[in-house]
Amino acid sequence: MIFFGILATFALVIRVYTRAFILRRMKIADYSLILGWLNFVAYLVTGWLAAESAPMIDQWNLRLRNFLDLLFRFYVGSACYGGAMLFIKVAILLNILEIFWLEQTLTRACHILMWANGIFYINFIFLQIFACRPINKSWDVFITDGAFFNTRLVTLVAGAINTVSDLIILILPQRRIWALQSPLRKKLAVSGLFSLGLFACISSIVRLYYSVIISYSPNQSYYGYISGIWTVPEMAFGIMVAGFPLLPKFISHLRENSQIARLKTSIRSSRLTPSGTGRRSIIIPSNPSSARAHLKRPRDPDEDLLITSPSHAIIERSSDGMC
């Protein structure tokens, strides 16, 4: 879980840094991804606490206190999972809209998926939180009165819908990517970034498999824990799909900064006298008034660097896009 947490955090940092400090324009997709990442981190914390209570132990080998703690972790984690998937998928779909906004069919499909996923995950979170009355009946087996909803069925149906949604989002931009009038290398790079969602789909399918087992197995602690483990790469790869499309801009920024640093060093070196004493050579123009203006204020060598490089100009012109 730590490995996937680091990868997801790295993708988020790249995206937020590029948007905030390079492009200097944050968008709704960026804030949505941040909210998704916060829910993801909260889910990791509940998973870590669940591992302390019952790390893949059969239910009949658990002490009652540990079993109650595990049920509470499952309860909190399911709500965090729903929130994470909601905001991550919204961020991914907004990214697709920003890149392929001229494609009307793709735009309509993205809007439909955003609304459908929003309605689905809001209902999923609501059902997970308020499945029982009183609420603590969800994890306290000693409460015998009240009402409850079959959360196993909710988890199974939600897993199936979630898997289908992941597959649709994975396939959605591929046709348009390969229709771009771009070099094959660039098409492969863009397609590869979005194809990271394939690993999220695989994780979702495996999770669905264990959700089917949970629907009829009495060993909830064991299979529930395994199912929860597979949600971690699903969320992590979703964050990477949303964050890594800005990786080329981030790398270009690093390269430009290193080139500017070398250029600045060479300019300062060229201004030194041949004797190596460190004194600057002063050229006095033939026109006296011009000479006085020249000597009035020492010239800052950094002023010669106020030139926008071609790659930086491209970044500024395309600040509204992703690639």
Per-residue confidence (pLDDT) for residue 110, from 0 to 100: 93
> Domain segments of the chain: what residues?
1-243
Provide the pLDDT confidence category of residue 293 given band limits of 50, 70 and 90. very low
- Tallying the residues shown for the chain, one arrives at 323
- Output helix, strand, coil percentages for the chain, rounded to the nearest 5: 75, 0, 25
Q: What's the CATH number of domain 1-243, 1.10.3470, 3.90.75, 3.30.565, 1.20.1070?
A: 1.20.1070
Q: Which of 50, 67, 172, 63 is nearest to 117 (CA)?
A: 172
- Measured between alpha carbons, how far is residue 11 from residues 22, 40, 47, 287 in Å? 16, 13, 21, 58
The single-letter code of the amino acid at 84 is A
d(CA 12, CA 93): 16
Provide the pLDDT confidence category of residue 40 given band limits of 50, 70 and 90. very high
Give the residues across from 132 on adjacent strands: 148
Question: Percent of the chain beyond pLDDT 70?
Answer: 80
pLDDT, mean over the chain: 81
* 317 pLDDT higher than 80: no
* 285 pLDDT higher than 60: no
* 322 pLDDT higher than 60: no
How does pLDDT run across 74-88, given as a tens digit for each residue?
999 999 999 999 999
Lowest mean pLDDT among 34-38, 125-129, 218-222, 262-266: 262-266
Would you say 96 and 102 are in contact if contact means Cβ atoms under 8 Å apart?
A: no
Mapping DSSP to helix (H, G, I), strand (E, B) and coil, where does residue 247 land? helix
* 155 pLDDT higher than 90: no
Would you say 218 and 59 are in contact if contact means Cβ atoms under 8 Å apart?
A: yes
